[in-house]
Amino acid sequence: MPQRTIAVGSSVGLHARPASLLVAAAGKAVAGGAASSVTIAKDGAEPADARSILSVIALGAGHGDEVTLAAEGEQAETVLDELAAIVAAEEE
């Protein structure tokens, strides 16, 4: 399963808007058939479903923390590129 480890760029971490953007993109990727599953994990913990806002926020990933995204499917690399860009974005 392809994966990417990326630092969280948002000053508020993966909370509120950054988390909702990630969850929406992951959900769209799975619903559209680009990936069959997308997960996110922090500090080597069990991966969580990246389509679940509660799971993403529960990670407690703050600014600068590293998270690992993983995806399965024919377009997994493309999906990971898109999701990594969202996680790394430095928006407020």
- Tens of pLDDT along 6-17? 999 999 999 989
Mean pLDDT of the chain: 95
Query: Any residues with CB less than 8 A from the CB of 7 and at least 6 apart, and which?
Result: 64, 65, 66, 87, 88
pTM value?
Answer: 0.94
CATH number (domain holding residue 67): 3.30.1340.10
Residues 38-70: tens digit of each pLDDT: 999 999 789 999 999 999 999 999 999 999 999
Give me the active site residues, please. Answer: 15
Distances in Å between the Cα of 43 and the Cα atoms of 5, 67, 77 are 10, 7, 22
At residue 61, what are phi and psi to the nearest 5 degrees?
Answer: -80, 115
Q: Cβ distance 57 to 15 under 8 Å?
A: yes
Query: Per the structure, how many domains does the chain have?
Result: 1
**What per-residue confidence (pLDDT) applies to 91?**
75
Residue numbers of the domain that contains 52: 3-88
